[in-house]
Structure 1
């Protein structure tokens, strides 16, 4: 049986339309374009329903034939969501007061999708975490109310089945999938006490001892929490508004790891600077982090928080796994030039390097073969439009918005997991009449006074780092450490500059290398390896102490002295690695 054809919903100042998906994009024959201004739209989780608000009413239709399921007289609705089993429509409008209603009217409504009847009307003043969270089987629903979590069972919203209350919960995330449901709850620190995240399994919510995992930390004005698809671990990005050291305009970020088996860790990142993006692989065993001052690094970690593959440095601030997890796109959008790097995750081999300037949106098509990039308002009000690409870099469809009009949103239709099988990764560009937009290699600017000099003799503002395999047993240059690679490149650059600037006749003859006997060589290598192993052991102990210090533990004087020796130990390790 052939896989289904994905649909693409397009919302803008010209109305709402529905396109049949790639490679040929045409108006969906069963959907009549709504020319009125659309405030919001959403697909159901299985993709069978589409709902939108056009400023007059909220409409829910079937994607297959365009038939209307329900219509609601809710002209002020600005946010929509459909429950996982398509039983409830959630609508939200801005909270407001009036003379007739000084307390304000309930602005969060839960509607029965089939009958159109109101199930429950609630107050939700803040737009943050506005929508209740359901488990996949809809047996559990969670909502944040007055800094505590209220749990409802089997969509009975007249009875609170359970509560989670611990100080002031400011954020939570319910695990994906069905039973047993788990929840990650965040409590910000106050009066010198650390912030913390705890994992619970429903319905065991009564005490601290019932928590599956607990991680406390300082330096957190806000957090972003992400469950992996198997609900076995959570990644917590803790951010501060201001970096007190003055090193970063973006504040300061730390990445924490919590597993349901109780393991916790601080993910060690090898470059200083902000954390731009964190994303789980769909296989739930790896995650990718984009971090560090530009040019940023991107690294894949396993569930032990050990680096698996380092993509080196580049102009990027986002990472996107394909729905099947076999392809990873690293991209630089926003204030960057829109360069995308497409990688085959199994081979860690680059597939293509297309470029989408001024893109403000990127998303994978559910088929794992195509992506869409778009320039939308209000982020950018000129040059609005979208492109549909094959991952090999070919542009298959391009649609620009007419002058004076704006594009607000593009969204792929959702599909149940397994609807599209994983296909073999191709490296040859897919055929297209619109061609490709592969990024051309650029050269750094060189002042006129230095243009007569060899390029290798001019120092760079940034030291570019190549990709390297971090798995144990990797051989060759890719297995070298970051410091060893950097020093090797510097030595090669100095050697090349000396050869180009010195006349050939002035070069002394190369000294004949002295080769030691096999026994002497073996003993020297063995001694060097011992020293390197000892230094790495000390550095690992220092990293553990730093992690304890970051979590709020008060260290003893001798432990602090060990941390202060880190720079000296790193320098000794670099010298030993260079000497090998």
Structure 2
């Protein structure tokens, strides 16, 4: 419209010169025509954006609006639906298929991918195709031509970070209220490897061996990896909130509450990471806790708890093991051994039958051990990382009663630790009793010790025990009156951090459990998180913006509790260390290295000394360069100052003010006295 008005004004100013007017009119007409032609629909848009949905219900006019609403609600998740056409027969009933047009071919492709085979109800399963597929299948050539092989996509070395000569670890950081995500290298001064804005919409998560970085988006999950953190794969699952990896990093589990459907379960989807293919979908129980599916140690099996049963699935078929679930009436909880195909589960008391904890071997389903327990209110199972021990924390009661609302209330609660020695013959069980409320429990990852926090404020204690092989459970020490509510063992054992997070103001205590000595007592005020690096050399304490809105950032400590680095970050949210894959060294090789540790220590000390010398030389060179730059800058300014002396004399009536501060006559000395203090003393004669 603006161009037409401009054309009209020029036309009136042309003084009726028809030739000039025609040129101007023709020029603007071409410009207007170009704008119109650019908006004209393209053939590819009208065909590739259209899909056909077959096997929809055949309904009359009275139910057509309801059907349209259901279809629109389902397909609008994948993009804007521009047009929907429902063919009708002579009686006004739908013919069992319909056409949908999306705003882009990408949205149409996503809709076909995710809804083909969708079960609307027991009688109707959608068959969804592109409209362009008809022409493709009609014109199939008589002679088959083998398809071109898909070109190999070089993703680079997905474990390139392990080749760092100095063995520096990486960690991810989310800050700026979640707007920025960065990857850092744990050098003496943390150096940035990669930073991207809005890389994720919620948080990030590393895969168990550190190969992939998962980011969350409205439409699904993206995996990144390689030296430049290129995108490896995308998984479409709108509204995804939680994920879990298999230990072998072959499969990814995603959860979205928006996709649950009883007929076609989509709330939980298991994906093949390498191909991006959907392996199977599952529905989600309303009272389930994450992770709903628990993996065994190598990813060959995964299981979930159901009503009166544990369902165990096997890969890569993703079907039930032996085509049946493990029937266990009233089963309450279960967990896998971290190193063996063993499941531990517990069942509460039923009338005169005691509660019991059972260890069962998979896939044979043979019972390895059964432990009967009496007066049980609750149980929590804790596996040691090496799979040598299982601790079942049993909450026991002295009396119980049922109120008017059929709610069971317990009184006289006390606690037992049932300790299963998995590696010993017939799996003997030891017992440790504790009367105080137990706040936290943690195994030493590699070793025979465990620790737990017990008591009530202000008398909170931390107790350590050691399990002697084929011997007793030995009490090592109890640290009394500690400000601690969390236990963080080093991944290699021996060292532990007692942390009083959040309400306990970030008190940190570093302990060496070899001789039970406190190495450091310190504080990171209002700390919300503590994270050990995968090597056990460093530990991070952090104040997350998700927990507190001020003093956000992280502090880096060594295993002895000596502060290495403070890094304040505005609206810091999350820090996660990048995991390392299991070592390729055999146990004998590890023992040999530990035996000859002094030889290796000398080599490392030499390398550290050389590195410090190099760093010192670099620092001296940097300082020397700064001093030279300063002297050059000062010399240049002195020269400019001298060149402007004549101008200063002219401006100041010939008075040379440059030397005023060197002449004694220009100074006046004045003595000022003032009373500082008055004091009276009585002097005895």
TM-score range, shorter chain: 0.5 to 0.7
Task: Tell me by how many angstroms 1:242 deviates.
Answer: 12
Q: What is the match of residue 359 of structure 1?
A: 527
Which residue of 102, 117, 128 corresponds with 2:289? 128
2:571 matches 1:415: no
**Pair 259,368 (structure 1): closer, same or farther in 2 beyond 3 Å:** same
**Pair 127,166 (structure 1): closer, same or farther in 2 beyond 3 Å:** closer
Structure with higher Rg: it is: 2
Q: Within 2, Cα distance between the matches of 1:48 and 1:278?
A: 30
Q: Within 1, Cα distance between the matches of 2:523 and 2:217?
A: 34
Q: What is the match of residue 164 of structure 1?
A: 326
Please list the CA deviations of residues 367-402 of structure 1 after superposition, one character each: whole Å capped at 9, or x if unmatched.
212111122254334433222222333333333343
Q: Are the aligned partners of 1:169 and 1:186 in contact in 2 as well (CA < 8 Å)?
A: yes
Matches within 5 A, 1:6-21: 6-11=169-174, 12-21=177-186
Q: Within 2, Cα distance between the matches of 1:352 and 1:244?
A: 44
Q: Within 2, Cα distance between the matches of 1:67 and 1:242?
A: 59
Q: Within 2, Cα distance between the matches of 1:410 and 1:47?
A: 14
Residue 266 of structure 1 aligns to a residue in which SS? strand
**Pair 38,239 (structure 1): closer, same or farther in 2 beyond 3 Å:** farther
Residue 335 of structure 1 aligns to a residue in which SS? helix
Q: Within 1, Cα distance between the matches of 2:219 and 2:510?
A: 42
Which residue of 302, 311, 320 corresponds with 2:479? 311
**Pair 306,243 (structure 1): closer, same or farther in 2 beyond 3 Å:** farther
2:190 matches 1:33: no
Task: Tell me by how many angstroms 1:3 deviates.
Answer: 5.6
Q: What is the match of residue 324 of structure 1?
A: 492
2:505 matches 1:337: yes
Task: Tell me by how many angstroms 1:334 deviates.
Answer: 3.0
**Pair 264,106 (structure 1): closer, same or farther in 2 beyond 3 Å:** same
Gaps (5+ residues) in structure 2?
1-162, 402-409, 602-611, 613-685
Identify which range, 352-361 or 413-422, moves more after superposition: 413-422
**Pair 307,282 (structure 1): closer, same or farther in 2 beyond 3 Å:** same
Q: Are the aligned partners of 1:214 and 1:258 in contact in 2 as well (CA < 8 Å)?
A: no
**Pair 249,216 (structure 1): closer, same or farther in 2 beyond 3 Å:** closer
Residue 380 of structure 1 aligns to a residue in which SS? coil
Q: Within 2, Cα distance between the matches of 1:43 and 1:224?
A: 27
Please list the CA deviations of residues 172-231 of structure 1 after superposition, one character each: whole Å capped at 9, or x if unmatched.
110112xx411111223344654332111223426xxx242424243424x321111232
Q: Within 1, Cα distance between the matches of 2:460 and 2:187?
A: 32
**Pair 394,108 (structure 1): closer, same or farther in 2 beyond 3 Å:** same
Which residue of 237, 246, 251 corresponds with 2:393? 237
Q: Are the aligned partners of 1:297 and 1:310 in contact in 2 as well (CA < 8 Å)?
A: yes
**Pair 171,104 (structure 1): closer, same or farther in 2 beyond 3 Å:** same
Q: What is the match of residue 432 of structure 2?
A: 267
Q: What is the match of residue 375 of structure 2?
A: 218
Q: What is the match of residue 86 of structure 1?
A: 249
Q: Within 2, Cα distance between the matches of 1:236 and 1:306?
A: 18
Q: Within 2, Cα distance between the matches of 1:230 and 1:42?
A: 23
**Pair 119,255 (structure 1): closer, same or farther in 2 beyond 3 Å:** same
Which residue of 462, 474, 498 corresponds with 1:298? 462
Q: Are the aligned partners of 2:445 and 2:493 in contact in 1 as well (CA < 8 Å)?
A: yes
2:566 matches 1:398: yes
Normalising by structure 2, what TM-score? 0.54
Q: Within 2, Cα distance between the matches of 1:116 and 1:96?
A: 19
Residue 111 of structure 1 aligns to a residue in which SS? strand
Which residue of 429, 446, 452 corresponds with 1:289? 452
Q: What is the match of residue 269 of structure 2?
A: 109
Residue 416 of structure 1 aligns to a residue in which SS? coil
Q: Are the aligned partners of 1:352 and 1:391 in contact in 2 as well (CA < 8 Å)?
A: no
Gaps (5+ residues) in structure 1?
426-430, 432-580
Q: Within 2, Cα distance between the matches of 1:242 and 1:53?
A: 48
Residue 300 of structure 1 aligns to a residue in which SS? strand
Q: Within 1, Cα distance between the matches of 2:311 and 2:214?
A: 27
Q: What is the match of residue 526 of structure 1?
A: none
Q: Within 1, Cα distance between the matches of 2:466 and 2:336?
A: 22
Which residue of 150, 155, 178 corresponds with 2:311? 150
Q: What is the match of residue 676 of structure 2?
A: none
Q: Within 2, Cα distance between the matches of 1:213 and 1:259?
A: 13
Q: Are the aligned partners of 1:95 and 1:105 in contact in 2 as well (CA < 8 Å)?
A: no
Please list the CA deviations of residues 22-65 of structure 1 after superposition, one character each: whole Å capped at 9, or x if unmatched.
5322322xx34242553342211111211121334311011543
Which residue of 292, 301, 310 corresponds with 1:140? 301
**Pair 116,324 (structure 1): closer, same or farther in 2 beyond 3 Å:** same
Residue 314 of structure 1 aligns to a residue in which SS? coil
Q: Within 2, Cα distance between the matches of 1:77 and 1:241?
A: 41
Task: Tell me by how many angstroms 1:241 deviates.
Answer: 11
Q: Within 1, Cα distance between the matches of 2:480 and 2:191?
A: 40
Which residue of 177, 180, 184 corresponds with 2:344? 184
Q: Within 2, Cα distance between the matches of 1:322 and 1:249?
A: 37
Q: Within 2, Cα distance between the matches of 1:58 and 1:250?
A: 48
2:361 matches 1:228: no
Please list the CA deviations of residues 411-433 of structure 1 after superposition, one character each: whole Å capped at 9, or x if unmatched.
111113448999999xxxxx9xx
Normalising by structure 1, what TM-score? 0.63
Q: What is the match of residue 359 of structure 2?
A: 199
Matches within 5 A, 1:64-103: 64-94=227-257
**Pair 118,96 (structure 1): closer, same or farther in 2 beyond 3 Å:** closer
Task: Tell me by how many angstroms 1:276 deviates.
Answer: 1.5
Q: Within 2, Cα distance between the matches of 1:302 and 1:195?
A: 27
Q: Within 2, Cα distance between the matches of 1:195 and 1:214?
A: 8
Matches within 5 A, 1:56-71: 56-62=219-225, 64-71=227-234
Q: Are the aligned partners of 2:199 and 2:215 in contact in 1 as well (CA < 8 Å)?
A: no
Task: Tell me by how many angstroms 1:361 deviates.
Answer: 0.9
Q: Within 2, Cα distance between the matches of 1:3 and 1:197?
A: 47
Matches within 5 A, 1:418-567: 418=583
Please list the CA deviations of residues 469-515 of structure 1 after superposition, one character each: whole Å capped at 9, or x if unmatched.
xxxxxxxxxxxxxxxxxxxxxxxxxxxxxxxxxxxxxxxxxxxxxxx
Structure of greater relative contact order (alpha carbons < 8 Å, 6+ residues apart): 1
Q: What is the match of residue 645 of structure 2?
A: none
Q: Are the aligned partners of 1:252 and 1:273 in contact in 2 as well (CA < 8 Å)?
A: yes
Residue 23 of structure 1 aligns to a residue in which SS? coil
Q: Within 1, Cα distance between the matches of 2:553 and 2:421?
A: 41
Q: Within 1, Cα distance between the matches of 2:482 and 2:296?
A: 39
Q: Within 2, Cα distance between the matches of 1:306 and 1:375?
A: 37
More helix by share: 2
